[in-house]
């Protein structure tokens, strides 16, 4: 049976390739850099998201030797050229999106960005913040959150089914004889960012909450780093992946620390549990560290079920962000370095990488990305997202050492569906099992959808019991509709959405899940 399903999936892919071959070969690709700062400054991009007519990016530029930063909201056209830019600055406050910040596209239009203000008048104390933008990158409103006398470092935000948000990061603690340390924090808000609750967690002595993802029960899964209180100069200072599950009020349901892992930078919910992207350290000595990209699967109460490793062993393999496609596939981007290719400067050159995975964790492809091929230059990939045409867009920054100095430049690029920036790359040949076809031993979800396709966007659902929650994702993985089933055969209205392929995810009251494709 399993072989038959794989054969059906392969035939569907071949059919799709035959029907869309002209579109695939016409996909736009580009590889661009932009200088947003004076020659001695730094420009870098944190995130990129597709929008009508191109892309929106969030980034920073450093404008003073003291580290003052301006927040940049930049609009790009379909080939990566800057069409407009908004600059946000204040004489005494520095704005930053944060290394692991999140830019959320709202179903009603516009965006929400997590970040922080660094106030230079108050000993550089930082406040977490949420920042609302419209479609053109103009500020709608901002909300800040403080924790006097300490700093709040905001790293990520997720949007809940209720329309509210969970903002996570780290809160500093007083310094001691071995340096400063921090605890995890989470702030729950309503849809306008007004604080409803606040929680902190003390994990092993020091930690960074790096990611939050909404869960089907209305709560959130928070992932990041926990580590012992060791000297910062100790080479064997170890990061351990950690996770905390909270309900809709911020109450802890469970928390886990997973020893000998390095970090949990991104997470998604999967049937029966969670999947977390990070990296795994194979070797750590005073001479060299070897790492690989890793994917961790947890059950519903946080028990570690498995770890799968991907890509080559590198001195550094840091996963920055992970995104989920409409068919359940995952794409994960980050940075890597190899000391065997150490340049003359004595510092390992950084290369961007991206990894695409089937829903079951099988690797589809692994690609590396550069703008500068000179080994003395660094190519940092901070975000790698799916695009409506089936390809991917990346954003980050460059250190052009070969050009002189250490100035940083913003970097954006676009690939095709197989992850290639230039034409002529060989397809991976890996076929993922189509969404909606059960695996061997699985039971199909008892739901029927009609009509499908539905040109007017109105679908009827049968078999989804009252109390079942649902989420609809577009082709880029963005949630465009959520709700709870209240009738025996409810209507799902996607009439306001653009024609195309969508994914419907259902979670029954008993925790059972199911997915199917919707064609609008």
Residue in this structure with the two tokens 């929400």, named with its chain if needed:
112
pLDDT recorded at residue 77 = 95
Instruction: Tell how far CA 229 is from the center of its chain.
Output: 28
- Cβ contact 355:383 at 8 Å: no
Q: Which of 174-188, 207-221, 330-344 has the lowest mean pLDDT?
A: 174-188
Count Cβ atoms within 10 A of the Cβ of residue 343 and give its class: 0-12 exposed, 13-18 middle, 19 or more buried.
middle
Q: Give the DSSP letter string of 185-239.
A: EEEEE-TT--EEEEEEE--TEEEEEEEEEE-TTS-EEEEEEEEE---TT-TT---
Q: CA-to-CA distance for 202 and 195, rounded, in angstroms?
A: 21
Instruction: Give the chain's domains with CATH numbers.
Output: 85-376 (2.120.10), 443-519 (2.60.40.3080)
The string of pLDDT tens digits covering residues 98-132 is 555 688 888 888 999 888 887 665 555 788 889 89
Region of 2 on the Ramachandran plot (φ > 0 left; ψ -120 to 50 alpha; else beta) = alpha
β-pairing, 273-284 vs 289-299, is antiparallel
Residues whose CB is less than 8 angstroms from the CB of residue 177 and which lie 6 or more positions away in sequence, other chains included: none
Q: Which of 5-9, 149-153, 241-245, 495-499 has the lowest mean pLDDT?
A: 5-9
Considering Cα of 192, then 106, then 111, then 147, what sign does the dihedral take?
positive
Q: CA-to-CA distance for 61 and 80, rounded, in angstroms?
A: 18
Peptide bond into 10 cis (omega under 30): no
Average pLDDT over residues 8-35: 55
The string of pLDDT tens digits covering residues 316-347 is 888 888 888 877 789 999 998 877 665 555 55
Query: Residue 241 is encoded by which pair of tokens?
Result: 């992946």
- Indicate the pTM of the whole model: 0.78
Peptide bond into 453 cis (omega under 30): yes
The string of pLDDT tens digits covering residues 366-410 is 999 999 887 778 899 999 999 988 899 999 988 875 454 557 888
Distances, alpha carbon 368 to alpha carbons 48, 157, 380, in Å: 18, 28, 11
Q: CA-to-CA distance for 108 and 501, rounded, in angstroms?
A: 19
């Amino acid at each position: 049976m399993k072989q038959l399903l794989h054969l059906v999936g392969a035939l569907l892919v071949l059919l799709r390739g035959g029907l869309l071959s002209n579109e695939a070969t016409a996909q736009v690709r580009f590889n661009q850099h932009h200088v947003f700062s004076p020659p001695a400054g730094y420009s870098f991009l944190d995130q990129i998201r597709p929008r009508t007519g191109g892309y929106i990016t969030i980034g920073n530029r450093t404008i003073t030797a003291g580290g003052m930063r301006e927040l940049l909201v930049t609009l790009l056209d379909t080939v990566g050229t800057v069409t407009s830019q908004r600059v946000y600055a204040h004489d005494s406050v520095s704005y930053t999106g944060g290394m692991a910040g999140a830019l959320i596209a709202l179903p009603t239009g516009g965006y929400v960005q997590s970040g922080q203000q660094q106030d230079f008048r108050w000993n550089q104390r930082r406040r977490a913040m949420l920042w609302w933008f419209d479609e053109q990158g103009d500020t709608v409103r901002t909300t800040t959150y403080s924790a006097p006398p300490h700093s709040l470092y905001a790293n990520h935000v997720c949007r809940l089914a209720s329309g509210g948000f969970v903002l996570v990061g780290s809160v500093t603690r007083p310094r001691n004889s071995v340096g400063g340390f921090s605890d995890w924090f989470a702030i729950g808000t309503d849809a306008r960012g007004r604080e409803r609750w606040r929680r902190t967690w003390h994990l092993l002595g020091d930690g960074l909450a790096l990611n939050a993802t909404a869960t089907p029960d209305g709560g959130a899964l928070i992932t990041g780093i926990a580590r012992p209180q060791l000297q910062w100069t100790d080479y064997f200072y170890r990061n351990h992946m950690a996770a905390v599950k909270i309900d809709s009020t911020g109450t802890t349901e469970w928390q886990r620390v997973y020893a000998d892992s390095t970090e949990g930078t991104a997470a998604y919910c999967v049937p029966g549990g969670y999947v977390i992207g990070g990296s795994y350290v194979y070797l750590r000595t005073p001479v060299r560290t070897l790492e690989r990209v890793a994917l961790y699967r947890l059950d519903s109460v946080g028990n570690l079920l498995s770890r799968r490793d991907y890509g080559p062993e590198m001195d550094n393999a840091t996963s920055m962000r992970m995104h989920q496609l409409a068919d359940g596939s995952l794409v994960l981007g980050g940075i890597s370095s190899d000391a065997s290719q150490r340049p003359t400067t004595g510092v390992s050159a950084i290369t961007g990488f991206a990894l695409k995975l089937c829903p079951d964790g099988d690797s589809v492809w692994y690609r590396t990305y550069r703008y500068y091929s000179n080994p003395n230059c660094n190519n940092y990939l901070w975000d790698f997202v799916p695009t409506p045409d089936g390809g991917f867009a990346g954003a980050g920054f460059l250190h052009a050492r070969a050009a002189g100095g250490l100035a940083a430049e913003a970097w954006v690029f676009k690939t095709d569906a197989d992850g290639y920036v230039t034409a002529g790359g060989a397809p991976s040949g890996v076929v993922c099992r189509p969404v909606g076809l059960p695996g061997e031993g699985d039971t199909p979800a008892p739901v029927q959808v009609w009509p499908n396709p539905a040109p007017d966007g109105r679908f009827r659902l049968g078999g989804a019991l009252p109390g079942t929650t649902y989420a609809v994702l577009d082709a880029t993985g963005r949630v465009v509709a959520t709700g709870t089933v209240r009738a025996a055969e409810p209507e799902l209205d996607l009439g306001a959405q653009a024609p195309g392929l969508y994914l419907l995810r259902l979670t029954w009251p008993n925790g059972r899940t199911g997915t199917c494709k919707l064609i609008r």
